[in-house]
Amino acid sequence: AAQGVARSAFGLQGQKCSACSVVYVDEKVKAEFIEKLVAFAGKLVVGDPRKAETFMGPVYGDATVGRFQAALSEVEGKGKVHFGGAALGQGFANNYVLPTVVELDGPGRLTRDELFMPFVVVRGFDSLDAAIEEGNDIPYGLSAGIFTNDQKELRHFLDTAEAGVLYANRASGATTGAWPGAQPFCGWKGTGVSGKGGLGSWFLPQYLREQSHTIMTK
């Protein structure tokens, strides 16, 4: 789970529509999960994107740097920064920032807005229902994922999560990795409006017209 979240949250510097920006974790394993997520984030190489070993390059422009710093300010008094929260330094420009893991005591702008930067919020919950309820109370709904060995939990998540692209137990990317053309890629609510997209069976009819041919033969 920690690997899947890290890859989704920090891949492409978090600057993609399906990036994971908030994680809802069972309180019983929250401390262990954060420890493993921080350990994974600490192994990611930030630097020159032209080098093969680099996982994260720069974020886009001064505006993103400003949003990154503003997000860190919002955490003060409301939670804790577990990893990152600073520029890389080492002679790199200030838009090279570290992958950042924070924990918040309650929901807010950072759990509801699209962040588009390498910044992930962890929230602890006592029940799956409560986690899904808060997750659904977001104006967007492109992708979501779950890690569980309980088939009832998985079925409940698939039936109730309000997002167009759902994943389960995907270590290579908790909320990312759809194959366009093979899987529909469509959001609900503020992400896509209609929920019909990505070359799926509900999408193509929007571009088609019916026509009947009647040909008389002798």
CA dist., res. 56 & res. 51, Å (int): 10
Residue 168 near residue 150, CB atoms below 8 Å: no
Single-letter amino acid, residue 49: P
The phi and psi torsions of 11 (rounded to 5 degrees) equal: -60, 140
Residue 186 is among the residues annotated as catalytic for this protein? no
Q: Which of 17, 38, 81, 154 is catalytic?
A: 17
Half-sphere exposure of 82 toward its Cβ, with a 13 Å CA cutoff? Answer: 23
The angle subtended at Cα 167 by Cα 193 and Cα 170, nearest 5°, is 145
- Cβ neighbourhood burial of 121 (10 Å; 0-12, 13-18, 19+): buried
- Give the total residue count for the chain: 218
**DSSP three-state, residue 144:** strand
CA dist., res. 91 & res. 87, Å (int): 10
Single-letter amino acid, residue 115: L
Report the 10 Å Cβ neighbour count for 55. Answer: 19
Q: Which residues are known to be catalytic? A: 17
